[in-house]
Chain A
Amino acid sequence: MLVGVDVGGTFTDLVAADDGALRFVKTPSTPDDPARGVMDALELLACETGQSLEDLLPEVDVFIHGTTVATNALVERKGAKLGLITTKGFRDLIELREGARQERYALRTDAPEPLIERPLRLEVRERVDAAGAVREPLDEVGLDAALAQLRAAGAESVVVCLLHAHRRPEHERAVRAAIDRAGWTPFISLSHEALGREGEYDRLSTAAVNAYVGPSLKAYLERLFGELSARGVRTPVFVMQSTGGVLPIADAGQRAVGAVTSGPAGGAMAAALFARTLGFSDVVTYDTGGTTTDVAVIQNGAPVERVRTDVADLRIAAPAIAIDPIGIGGGSIARIDAGGVLAVGPESAGAAPGPACFLKGGVRATLTDANLALGLISPDTFLGGRMPLSVDLARDAIARDVAQPLGLSVEEAAWAVHVLATSGVTEGVRLATVRRGRDPRDFALLSFGGAGGLHAHAAARELRIPTVVVPRMASVLSALGFLAADVRQDLQVSVDKPIRALGPSELQTIFDGMEREGRVRLARTGLGSADVTLRRTVDCRYDRQTHAIPVVIGEAEPAALEDAFTAAYRSLYGHAHDTEPGVVDVCRLSLFGALPKLTLPRAAVLSSPDPSAAKSGEREVFLGRWTVAGVYRFDDLAAGMQVAGPAIIESASTTVLVQEGGVASVDETGSLRIGELAS
């Protein structure tokens, strides 16, 4: 049996796959000790299978866990107390932040507090130069004194970032050895291990985030693993990473930075799984939550990645699935701005106090309030009826915040909020594809449901995207995606040489070295070498550029690389530079150790498209004017059934709107596919 457990802020989701049968469990999360929620979910699963937990757990072949412990530690700034050992003369790099700032016009804001406070940023005499030569040996005496100072100050983690350590890591390693020698056992993060390439700020910031969230993640994972082992789990436990791959618990604790943006990774992996299963090579997905809509792009069946992410004033320079957030969510606040024009988001009422209709003290009008006032969401079946909604409070909020200032009826005002939110999703999806040098029409649109299902069809129409897919198990998609993941190890080496200056086997030697190391790491997880696949990426740029683009290559031949770089550049930017020399920045190797995978169960397609067995009634909805829409239970819609718009399709986790003139059919995976009626 394969088990994926995703601990979110509100719910802990579990997906179990056994011989092609899927089971889903949802239980409230337990933020004080997330491990309890995990055990609760497993208990529920045992209940469903009619076993005791002790009988069930030994049957688990693969256990994959996604956690927000690292994310929360960073966002809430509740991580470890950090100390820094760095090259003499460079203690302030983390505070200097490369001189960049996002907000241009906000002059009166607090400067971000660096993760490592200045008194605990200590320098040691040592220097390696750009060629990797030691200009000044490491001053071991000074180092011991600095370490003693950090220890006395109560540092829980030590970050080590020395200049050019990616070229020559000896000095960073010597710092670790000195810590060991002193019999001190803080969490240690060396910059060249956090990131094996040039760029001292990237390495420093990444190592600092790692050291900051590492101790709490490690402690949590050890506690969870202890509990699971005690109750009978015999297999290794894996932890979801931001790359969409997984790491065994021991590695995941040490490489905590990899879990920080892992939240959306499971969803993107699930979307990729659906894309492959349904035969779409290129899919753009969006997941609308309370505050944002996260857009991800799947190309050739795999999520598009990026090499750095800026979170909460910090840089994480580690590969991660690229997520483009848009400031539209169910909790997005609708307001009349200072110029008298309606605006929706990015300010959000979030989950608390939440939309006015939630009866949790929220008073401001939100997108969810608008959708409720339009009749698109049912007050009785939202979240399967677990969350009663107040139509009156929603209407009051819309009336006060939007309708009255604009001189509109409540319905018209709510409709304006709805349409503007759709426009937000539409333009966000368009930019995500344009940004990758692509046209949205070449993609299918996959909606994760939730608050997004009401806007999917309209957005696709405007983008001229022919097909919308809404998976049935949208609410547990993230946990489902875990079961499509491989164990993944990422390594990189800085090269910084013109392609033409590379020796014939130079790249091969670099990749061979990384492959040996990667295979050693994978072997620790108990995977045989036959199950390993490789992805070689060479980050290339033109001579005068500073940012490189990823070029995936099969064989590490320099001649082939030149062509591959030109082709990759052309596909991204529409042209290439014949006269400009290409340069290799970094070689990156990803090793994928295959885990047993989930296959999506497929149902036989019924011959009759008649959906009346799933129809729960009809409802007046306002889509610019009042109209009657058929209402259907998603759970009862079987493969082959077809629903003509205007229609509402509801489940405990989502409401999907099929526009007039559109048709939704249920495919063999149970997913909705929305397209246009042939005219």
Chain B
Amino acid sequence: MTKAHAAQSPLTLAVVRHKLKAVTEEMVETMTHTCFSPILNQNQDFSAVLLDADFLCVAQAERVPIHMGAMPLAVRRMAEAFRDDVAEGDVLMANDPYWGGSHLPDVTLAAPFIHGGEIRFWVALRAHQGDIGGMSAGGYSAGAREIWHEGLRIPPIKLAAKGALRPDVLRLVAENSRKPEDLAGDLTAQWASVRIGLERLTDLFARYAAREIDGASAAILDAGEAVTRSMLSTFAPGVYRGLSHMEFASAPDGLLPIPVAVTIENGRAVVDLTECPDQVAAFINSPYANTRAAVMVAFLYFCGDEQGLNDGSARAIELRTRAGSLLDPVSPAPVGACTSSTACAVIEALLDALQNADPSRAVGGFARRFRFALAGRDRQGSAFIWHYFLNKGGAGASDGRDGWVNLGGLHNPGGTPSPSVERTEAAYPLFVESYALETDTGGPGAARGGLGGRLTLRYEGAAPAVINASGEGVAVPPFGAQGGFPGPGHAYTVDGESGQRPIGVHDSGVPIAPGERVTCVSAGGGGYGDPTLRSPEAVLRDVKFGYVSPEAAFAVYGVRV
């Protein structure tokens, strides 16, 4: 469908664009204020979009970057599943990665906005649900071999029909969760947020003619495309190759390569990910929608203008994947870690390719996420599970700028704040002995990577506990850029009377006895540029501040202190 928008009034366009964005902001604000599970309303792990009748995103309120590029595909598949059987007041629901979804905890609700007998928009909200069933509470099952291990698959179904919520559907979905009340409450809140979006669109159509709004949304997409094309045209045309790796014990050398070729030509980019390995029987596969979202996030890191974030951008970026591969798997490959681990690796591969296209905008690697859960018994003997969300590691350096400390992976740097040490100690049988920056962990460079940290905690529970890990970034350290050195990878260990035992990224059931310690040294960010070009003043300051040891200052930077 082509829309005539040549005669679009610039005023209407600017205001309608602002209003559409405000609609999505109000949707997430409503979700914040009505969602049920105590966790969800605090982490705001949800995002809202408005899509046009062709399922192109014209406005979004993002709280989680990796949601954004993925939702249009999900809504398209949901709508196609019902074709003509969609009426006003219907709300569709799905989470299945093989029906356009990402991983199972991300449940999307979508409703058509119908005006003058035609679908004009789709209103959608995706939320990461706390528990959707599966092998282990909360998703992220490193042991999953098939998608069914990961929880309830919801292909496109109707959660509401003609304005009425379907209690039977809600019951079925909720009862498949370990927290049925939370899930039912959160889905109801999603439904309320979607209805707010529809209501606000009704207001907008009362103020502006449908033709004007159609024209504006077409022009918004054109604007998104223009922004992206102008960003792409800042790169010299050519074919650029990039490579990153994922840690996977069953691979020959423990690593799965993620190669990418980016062709930039005439303000367009073709991203070819077809050379990546075949899908694996582990939770690191990334469904197409998630892969697409990761690719879009990588390009956003080169876009200064946030107004450009919409599906018009996607017209300038073509994505090629291979069905049955790690980045475009087919059922029943499990996908739990796709939104963090795999997304991160894809983004890194793209950044690696694009640094060849424009060295001045290269960025050193960021510490990947390496999380673990510690399950044991507290001092009173009650069972507890603690999730490690501290000490995220250093960020990469860029031209003239040292990296930040404690940001975390490229899929969501600086996203969720860490809990306090005091809360951790008050709520769990854990005692934090130290938590500080670790000297010499910043990847050396003319600009230095951000330092990693060292956190030491002692387990003081009543009975032995186990550690279940899920992450990345031990064997694959944050890369250096443009002659900068990589930062060291994460190094987590359990220290006890029987000595020191390393924790692997996918280890589960690592035992820890009361009184034993966990030491986590997080990865440091990658450096940028030749370290011998770092100004001696900066090196001296690093030594004075304890970021770099005098020995490293001489050995790596050639500065004698």
A229-266 vs B: 1/0 string, CB under 8 Å? 00000000000000000000000000000000000000
Give the residues in chain A near B418, CB-CB below 8 Å. Answer: 98-100
A580-621 vs B: 1/0 string, CB under 8 Å? 100000000000000000000000000000000000000000
Bound Cα distance from A163 to B390, whole angstroms: 16
Q: State the Cβ distance, B228 to closest chain A Cβ, in Å.
A: 9
Bound Cα distance from A104 to B297, whole angstroms: 10
Within 8 A of B (CB), among A250-288: none
A502 part of interface (Cβ distance < 8 Å): no
Give the residues in chain A near B337, CB-CB below 8 Å. Answer: none
B515 part of interface (Cβ distance < 8 Å): no
B21-53 vs A: 1/0 string, CB under 8 Å? 010011001101111101101100000000000
B392 part of interface (Cβ distance < 8 Å): yes
A679 part of interface (Cβ distance < 8 Å): no
Q: Which among A35-43, A48-56, A420-428 touches the partner chain? A: A420-428
Give the residues in chain B near A181, CB-CB below 8 Å. Answer: none
Q: State the Cβ distance, A523 to closest chain B Cβ, in Å.
A: 33
B288 part of interface (Cβ distance < 8 Å): no
Give the residues in chain A near B532, CB-CB below 8 Å. Answer: none
Give the residues in chain B near A627, CB-CB below 8 Å. Answer: none
Bound Cα distance from A108 to B300, whole angstroms: 12
Closest B residue to A98 using CB positions:
B417
Q: B39 to A545, Cβ gap below 8 A?
A: yes
Give the residues in chain B near A145, CB-CB below 8 Å. Answer: none
Give the residues in chain B near A420, CB-CB below 8 Å. Answer: 11, 14-15, 18
Question: Which of B391, B398, B435 has the most chain A CB within a 10 Å cutoff?
Answer: B435
Give the residues in chain A near B405, CB-CB below 8 Å. Answer: 92, 95-96, 111
Number of chain B residues whose Cβ lies closer than 8 Å to a Cβ of chain A: 91
Given A108-B398, A434-B33, also A579-B181 (CB < 8 A): yes
Given A427-B25, A435-B33, A577-B36, also A104-B305 (CB < 8 A): no
Q: A108 to B399, Cβ gap below 8 A?
A: yes
Give the residues in chain B near A527, CB-CB below 8 Å. Answer: none
| Contact residue among A107, A198, A544 (Cβ-Cβ distance under 8 Å from B39) | A544
Q: B545 to A105, Cβ gap below 8 A?
A: no
Give the residues in chain B near A415, CB-CB below 8 Å. Answer: 11
Bound Cα distance from A653 to B361, whole angstroms: 47
Give the residues in chain B near A107, CB-CB below 8 Å. Answer: 301, 363, 395-396, 398, 413
Q: A89 to B433, Cβ gap below 8 A?
A: yes
Within 8 A of B (CB), among A129-143: 129-130
Within 8 A of B (CB), among A185-201: 198-201
Give the residues in chain B near A108, CB-CB below 8 Å. Answer: 361, 363, 398-399, 401
Q: A199 to B417, Cβ gap below 8 A?
A: no
Within 8 A of A (CB), among B500-556: 544-547
A75-112 vs B: 1/0 string, CB under 8 Å? 00000000000001111110111111111110111110
B17 part of interface (Cβ distance < 8 Å): yes
B151 part of interface (Cβ distance < 8 Å): no
Q: B425 to A130, Cβ gap below 8 A?
A: yes
| Contact residue among B15, B26, B33 (Cβ-Cβ distance under 8 Å from A572) | B33
Bound Cα distance from A415 to B453, whole angstroms: 53
Q: State the Cβ distance, A543 to closest chain B Cβ, in Å.
A: 7
A448 part of interface (Cβ distance < 8 Å): no
Q: A342 to B301, Cβ gap below 8 A?
A: no
Q: A111 to B36, Cβ gap below 8 A?
A: no
B185 part of interface (Cβ distance < 8 Å): yes
Q: B421 to A163, Cβ gap below 8 A?
A: yes
Give the residues in chain B near A535, CB-CB below 8 Å. Answer: none
Q: State the Cβ distance, A189 to closest chain B Cβ, in Å.
A: 18
Closest A residue to B25 using CB positions:
A431
Give the residues in chain B near A650, CB-CB below 8 Å. Answer: none
How many A-B residue pairs lie within 8 Å, measured between CB atoms? 224
B406 part of interface (Cβ distance < 8 Å): yes
Give the residues in chain A near B390, CB-CB below 8 Å. Answer: 99
| Contact residue among A109, A119, A435 (Cβ-Cβ distance under 8 Å from B544) | A119
Closest B residue to A426 using CB positions:
B22
Closest B residue to A93 using CB positions:
B435
Q: A339 to B227, Cβ gap below 8 A?
A: yes
B381 part of interface (Cβ distance < 8 Å): no
Q: B406 to A99, Cβ gap below 8 A?
A: yes
Q: B453 to A341, Cβ gap below 8 A?
A: no
A408 part of interface (Cβ distance < 8 Å): yes
Within 8 A of A (CB), among B399-421: 399, 401-408, 412-421
B445-459 vs A: 1/0 string, CB under 8 Å? 000001001001000
Q: State the Cβ distance, A152 to closest chain B Cβ, in Å.
A: 15
B357 part of interface (Cβ distance < 8 Å): no
B431 part of interface (Cβ distance < 8 Å): yes
A573 part of interface (Cβ distance < 8 Å): yes
Q: B401 to A406, Cβ gap below 8 A?
A: no
Q: State the Cβ distance, A361 to closest chain B Cβ, in Å.
A: 26
Q: A90 to B436, Cβ gap below 8 A?
A: yes
Q: State the Cβ distance, B346 to closest chain A Cβ, in Å.
A: 16
Give the residues in chain B near A163, CB-CB below 8 Å. Answer: 421-422
Within 8 A of A (CB), among B421-468: 421-423, 425-426, 431-437, 450, 453, 456
Give the residues in chain B near A111, CB-CB below 8 Å. Answer: 401-405, 450
Q: A337 to B38, Cβ gap below 8 A?
A: no
Q: B434 to A342, Cβ gap below 8 A?
A: no
B220-236 vs A: 1/0 string, CB under 8 Å? 10111111001100000
Q: A198 to B423, Cβ gap below 8 A?
A: yes
| Contact residue among B19, B223, B361 (Cβ-Cβ distance under 8 Å from A427) | B19
A410-438 vs B: 1/0 string, CB under 8 Å? 00110110011001100100110011010
A340 part of interface (Cβ distance < 8 Å): yes
Q: A430 to B26, Cβ gap below 8 A?
A: yes
Q: A92 to B437, Cβ gap below 8 A?
A: yes
Give the residues in chain B near A92, CB-CB below 8 Å. Answer: 405, 435-437, 453
Q: B426 to A496, Cβ gap below 8 A?
A: yes
B13 part of interface (Cβ distance < 8 Å): yes
Closest A residue to B13 using CB positions:
A341
B303 part of interface (Cβ distance < 8 Å): yes
Q: A340 to B436, Cβ gap below 8 A?
A: no
Q: A90 to B29, Cβ gap below 8 A?
A: no
Within 8 A of B (CB), among A538-585: 541-547, 572-575, 577, 579-580
Q: A89 to B435, Cβ gap below 8 A?
A: yes
Closest A residue to B181 using CB positions:
A579
Within 8 A of B (CB), among A323-353: 337-343
Bound Cα distance from A90 to B421, whole angstroms: 10
Q: B18 to A424, Cβ gap below 8 A?
A: yes
Bound Cα distance from A339 to B315, whole angstroms: 14
Q: B414 to A412, Cβ gap below 8 A?
A: no
| Contact residue among A105, A419, A545 (Cβ-Cβ distance under 8 Å from B301) | A105
Give the residues in chain A near B222, CB-CB below 8 Å. Answer: 339-340
B307 part of interface (Cβ distance < 8 Å): yes
Q: A341 to B219, Cβ gap below 8 A?
A: yes
Q: A338 to B417, Cβ gap below 8 A?
A: no
| Contact residue among B32, B181, B305 (Cβ-Cβ distance under 8 Å from A338) | B305
Q: Residues of A with Cβ closer than 8 Å to B?
A: 88-93, 95-105, 107-111, 117-119, 129-130, 163-164, 198-202, 337-343, 406-408, 412-413, 415-416, 419-420, 423-424, 427, 430-431, 434-435, 437, 496, 541-547, 572-575, 577, 579-580
Selected A-B contacts with CB under 8 Å, 23 pairs: A89-B432, A89-B433, A98-B417, A99-B406, A99-B416, A100-B415, A103-B414, A104-B413, A108-B363, A110-B402, A111-B402, A198-B422, A198-B426, A337-B305, A338-B227, A340-B226, A341-B14, A343-B14, A408-B10, A420-B11, A431-B29, A434-B33, A574-B192
Given contacts A111-B405, A423-B22, 5 further A-B contacts (CB under 8 A): A99-B392, A119-B544, A164-B425, A337-B308, A577-B38
Q: Residues of B with Cβ closer than 8 Å to A?
A: 10-11, 13-15, 17-19, 22, 25-26, 29-30, 32-36, 38-39, 41-42, 65, 181, 185, 192, 219-220, 222-227, 230-231, 300-301, 303-308, 312, 361, 363, 389-392, 395-396, 398-399, 401-408, 412-423, 425-426, 431-437, 450, 453, 456, 544-547
Leading 3 A-B pairs by shortest Cβ distance:
A339-B223, A101-B414, A89-B434
